[in-house]
Amino acid sequence: MATFAVSGLNSISSFNNNFRSKNSNIFLSRKRSLLFNLRRRRRSFYVSNVASDQKQKTKDSSSDEGFTLDVYQPDSTSVLSSIKYHAEFTPSFSPEKFELPKAYYATAESVRDMLILSWNATYEYYEKMNVKQAYYLSMEFLQGRALLNAIGNLGLNGPYADALTKLGYSLEDVARQEPDAALGNGGLGRLASCFLDSMATLNYPAWGYGLRYQYGLFKQLITKDGQEEVAENWLEMGNPWEIVRNDISYPVKFYGKVIEGADGSKEWVGGEDITAVAYDVPIPGYKTKTTINLRLWSTKLAAEAFDLHAFNNGDHAKAYEAQKKAEKICYVLYPGDESLEGKTLRLKQQYTLCSASLQDIIARFEKRSGNAVNWDQFPEKVAVQMNDTHPTLCIPELLRILIDVKGLSWKQAWGITQRTVAYTNHTVLPEALEKWSFTLLGELLPRHVEIIAMIDEELLLTILTEYGTEDLDLLQEKLNQMRILDNVEIPTSVLELLIKAEENAADVEKAAEEEQLEEGKDEETEAVKAETTNVEEETEVEKVEVKDSQAKIKRIFGPHANRPQVVHMANLCVVSGHAVNGVAEIHSEIVKDEVFNEFYKLWPEKFQNKTNGVTPRRWLSFCNPELSEIITKWTGSDDWLVNTEKLAELRKFADNEELQSEWRKAKGNNKMKIVSLIKEKTGYVVSPDAMFDVQIKRIHEYKRQLLNIFGIVYRYKKMKEMSPEERKEKFVPRVCIFGGKAFATYVQAKRIVKFITDVGATVNHDPEIGDLLKVVFVPDYNVSVAEVLIPGSELSQHISTAGMEASGTSNMKFSMNGCLLIGTLDGANVEIREEVGEDNFFLFGAQAHEIAGLRKERAEGKFIPDPRFEEVKAFIRTGVFGPYNYEELMGSLEGNEGFGRADYFLVGKDFPDYIECQDKVDEAYRDQKKWTKMSILNTAGSFKFSSDRTIHQYARDIWRIEPVELP
């Protein structure tokens, strides 16, 4: 245990003892004096601003006269004082001890102090200048630990390291006490967090909005039964980075009914009411005065809604019911949605995010506007970015507020909404393009269903204008592909147009027939009479089949009883937003050519590409400091941290033996950290001399962890068939590392986790194999685990079925850290391979344009599996990896059709190419000079994949905002 004993300052513990023993008045005076001195010494920022009345006068002025934010870098002594102050006066722990957890909280609160002034000044300045601001709505923000990132961005590693050393601890040990914020799951949330870092670093006026999940997704345990889930406890000891804003809360409503006033206005009344409360988290930029905000919503029940009468009558369950309903909205990220209750809870989460955020955004706009609110200026001051389809309900919510609350017309509100919102698509998987039950949505959000129906009507009228009504079959096809409300009654206005068009067509046809009969009357009277009789007979038949035009139209375009009525959220996003972007070049092309092709043909100007990116601060500088120092040395400065184009300069030194030697040493030191992590997390001991081969990402069939583990099984089987000498000659030693969570109700993904751990249990205890092959599943994969694994990885697997991974960001992180990739031409792999060079990327597998044909071939029974693939399946079925029944897992790869069959993700098709590509990996790794050069070229080629670059593109092409640097 460390104690406070610093020259020139009383220890906090000693001070505390004095407090209890001296006269209270005398001590209060001393306490105030100490508090003043500590505050004075730890200040790193101060703000000098104009008077508040002057600020109001200049709200719309572009002048920044009178506003300055001066930055003073504190030394270790003032940092030490600040930490000691928080250990005593911001207590989260008992006062007797100063152990690591308390040291972390005091340190974090000290850093937060230095962020608060710049945080407040940033938004005070934005309000003064009345700048256009971007708001990023996401269900996930996978932040990771904040302490080292914040200290690094502030450039205060040295002072904090020195101060903590004087207190008996290292900065690294203190930082490890921080739990990962359980606000995300995978790439979607990590991308959002990288974006926030870049927005702040580049001085863009922006905010993030999300939900404050009490238990996150889940904490993953690996047991003999595979993956088990327990609640995440990240908030158990509190969160020093957040500040609750009790004065910022908004009502959120569910259920109820819509009533119409005499003037045609609509009001949503009754139902279930909750309150969303704001929790703010500062997001500092790198070496800039800007600190932006992540606002998270937590839900509760208003005190007046608590049923005190029921409680006093002993019906405690009834009294608590409304409170628990409100609170559970923010319990868990992505609650299981197999049940109706689960679906309802997910929908409540999404609406809570959208409603609270939109109310907040509008309140901020009105505050900036003062007494003269011009709603047509709303899109000139506000940009709303929907990160995937989860925040789609912000579209009808914005319309509801503008129409029902602010009194705007439909036309004006619809125009404002279309100019304000934009949509990022993250998937081509049909099941991931959200669809909600029309009935459920109508019950939970009755006013929003009405508004969505109005948007759907606007879309239908546009389609009718574009394609006409002559070809009803074509029109029906377009509506089936594009409608927002699928299998729902056609709006009356559209139905009337279709009926009128059908009647007009019938009249034209009849007139043409009469004219034809009249022209031929003299020359072919008898023939015409006969023909007339036939026409009349056919007309009578048609009247029997379709009594009138209205019945015919309803038969063609009406809903079908055996199909569900659903709301297509992605279609709603595309129709309502002014921009739709994919997240990698190949993905954006698939979005245009396949996923939203009909919309692309209608509105080609909406569609853009914005290839994902990762922040080089967290994902290279802070997690890999040794390699970062080498890069700085060889490029001449640390400018690459904000101008990643500088990384390309490494190319000219790729053959330099001195650089290669330094590079290998850094990689080796990072591998030793992985060895320690594996021992700590799994108990396995692995050799640092082996190749470290890593696949860490969400467990999903399309990401094909199954292909990876099948390749390992094949490798193991071949080793077992060889003599010890042959094994060493044939195979490079490997440590194959997996990490990632399978969703709790995704049974097949959980089978894959179980299989990987079973293979590891067998292989890792086989004395014949020893260090030649190890298989490790690292439990509870998160950002902090990634920050250890990525710097020490040598080969990383990005092997999804081509055309199914939108982008990926872990591939960028690995490449940035000098790790070689093996992968398909999918997502950002395509662009990474172009930048790092084809010779520095291990490519295999079918390409995206071939996939549909290969699946068709399989369905027709024409696919002949490679004998090596069949060999692996047979080997697994011998029970070599334990008694667990893997028949369902094996069966998914067999057969020609059917759900859960027919190898939909083409594991068997790509398997032979994959294992042959792995032979090339072994061959390249044997030549360490060549491998190191390839590693350097991967880092050099990763310059394109900085999230800074991506954010510049969003700001320029979608949000149309400018950087606003504090003076």
What is the tens place of the pLDDT at every residue in 427-452?
998 777 999 999 999 999 999 999 99
Rounded Cα distance between 691 and 456, Å, is 55
The pLDDT value given to residue 557: 86
Q: Which of 426, 478, 617, 754 is catalytic?
A: 426
Which segments in the chain show pLDDT lower than 70?
1-72, 505-547
Whole-Å CA distances, 886 to 215, 226, 869, 893: 32, 13, 16, 12
Q: Which of 715, 813, 873, 944 is catalytic?
A: 813
**Does residue 813 have an active-site annotation?**
yes
Give strand pairing partners of 281.
294
Q: Report the SS3 class of residue 568.
A: strand
The pLDDT value given to residue 39: 42
Token couple for 491: 């709006």
**Does residue 426 have an active-site annotation?**
yes
Range of the domain at 365: 84-435
Q: What are the tens digits of pLDDT across the range 329-340?
A: 999 999 999 899
**Does residue 346 have an active-site annotation?**
no
Do 423 and 574 contact (CB within 8 A), yes or no? yes
Tokens 């919102």 identify what position? 421
Tokens 């490679």 identify what position? 866
Q: Which of 219, 698, 750, 873 is catalytic?
A: 698
Token couple for 122: 């940033």
Q: What are phi and psi of 655, to 5 degrees?
A: -95, 0
Q: Name the burial class of residue 750, with classes exposed (0-12), middle (13-18) and buried (19+) by CB atoms within 10 angstroms of its CB.
A: buried
Do 187 and 388 contact (CB within 8 A), yes or no? no
Whole-Å CA distances, 766 to 223, 761, 772: 20, 9, 10
Task: Tell me if 8 is assigned to some domain.
Answer: no
Q: What are phi and psi of 112, to 5 degrees?
A: -60, -35
- For the chain, what is the mean pLDDT? 90
**Does residue 762 have an active-site annotation?**
no
Strands of 496-579 (E only): list them: 566-568
Q: Name the burial class of residue 519, with classes exposed (0-12), middle (13-18) and buried (19+) by CB atoms within 10 angstroms of its CB.
A: exposed
Task: Tell me if 511 is assigned to some domain.
Answer: no
The pLDDT value given to residue 432: 79
Number of domains in the chain: 2
Task: Tell me if 842 is assigned to some domain.
Answer: yes
Do 810 and 791 contact (CB within 8 A), yes or no? no
Give percent above pLDDT 70 in the chain. Answer: 88
**Does residue 420 have an active-site annotation?**
no
Q: How many CB atoms lie within 10 A of CB 431?
A: 7
Q: Which of 86, 102, 483, 697 is catalytic?
A: 697
Q: Which of 290, 352, 809, 950 is catalytic?
A: 809
Rounded Cα distance between 553 and 499, Å, is 6
For the chain, the C-alpha Rg in angstroms (whole number) is 32
Interhelix angle 410-420/446-467, rounded to 10 degrees, is: 80
Rounded Cα distance between 489 and 553, Å, is 12
Task: Tell me if 737 is assigned to some domain.
Answer: yes
Q: Which of 703, 754, 858, 944 is catalytic?
A: 703
pTM given for the model = 0.90
The pLDDT value given to residue 302: 86
The pLDDT value given to residue 284: 97
**SS3 of the chain: helix, strand, coil, percent, to 5:** 55, 15, 30
Task: Tell me if 565 is assigned to some domain.
Answer: no
Q: Report the SS3 class of residue 883.
A: coil
> Which of residues 435, 451, 470 is at a domain's end?
435
Task: Tell me if 4 is assigned to some domain.
Answer: no
Rounded Cα distance between 201 and 290, Å, is 7
Task: Tell me if 575 is assigned to some domain.
Answer: no
Rounded Cα distance between 939 and 817, Å, is 6
H-helix or E-strand spanning residue 301: none
> Which of residues 435, 464, 493 is at a domain's end?
435
Task: Tell me if 64 is assigned to some domain.
Answer: no
Rounded Cα distance between 322 and 301, Å, is 7
The pLDDT value given to residue 73: 77
Rounded Cα distance between 460 and 497, Å, is 11
**Does residue 930 have an active-site annotation?**
no
CATH number at residue 903: 3.40.50.2000
Please give the distance of CA 588 from its chain centroid, rounded to a whole number: 17
The pLDDT value given to residue 57: 36
Token couple for 247: 């004065």
Whole-Å CA distances, 95 to 14, 15, 99, 861: 11, 11, 10, 73
The pLDDT value given to residue 131: 95
